[in-house]
Amino acid sequence: MTRFRLTSVAIDTESARRELLYSGAGGYVSFEGWVRNYNEGREVTRLEYEAFAELAVNEGERIVADVAARIPITQALCIHRVGALEISEMAVWVGVSAVHRGEAFDACRQIIDAVKHRVPIWKKEFYRNGDSGWVNCEHCAAAPQQGEVEHRHAPHR
């Protein structure tokens, strides 16, 4: 069973949840990440997600397997959207079943946190004023440009 998937259509949570059913499981926890209309003080009108699919799936599978190796759960699955999404659409879904609820909560949290940090998926925000930008890329792009200018001028000092 694959434990991390990308999809360009709406996530079918009912179907995904059924994949986690297990007679020995006593609890199930899921997380849904939704497209929010505001980020860092700017009004967002829509998003586009882009993935390096080959590595995203491999890294996502590793994340779920790593968590499953540390925390005793029965099943886990994460599904991430790619492509264009509107406000309030579901961008990501994580589901975990376990014998007891504590492990399901912990594993679900660890999976979504790691997915956000490690999986090569990018988010472009489109703003009310017509601007757009790649989240986490635009801010750090400014600093090295300044550094390069300083570097180029350095020999003249």
Partner 1 sequence: MQLKVQYFALMREQAGRSEETLQSSAASPRELYHELRIRHPFTLSPEHLKVAINGEFSDWTRGLCDGDSVVFIPPVAGG
Tell me whether residue 9 or residue 140 sits nearer to partner 1 (CB atom).
140
Q: What is the 3-state secondary structure (H, E, C) of 38-70?
A: EECCEEEEEEEEEECHHHHHHHHHHHHHHHHHH
Q: How far is the CB of 91 from partner 1 (least distance, A)?
A: 7
Closest CA to 121 of 88, 91, 89: 91
Nearer to partner 1, 57 or 68 (CB): 57
Give 46 or 124: the residue with its C-beta nearer to partner 1.
124
Task: Pull the structure tokens for residue 96.
Answer: 């975990």
Q: What residues line the site for partner 1 (CB under 8 A)?
A: 33, 49-52, 54-56, 58-59, 80, 91-92, 112, 115-124, 134-138, 140-145, 147-148
Residue of 108, 20, 30, 33 lying closest to 68 (CA atoms): 108
Q: Which is nearer to partner 1, 65 or 141 (CB)?
A: 141
Least distance from C-beta 103 to partner 1, angstroms?
Answer: 22
Reduced to 3 states (helix: H, G, I; strand: E, B; else coil), residue 133 is: strand
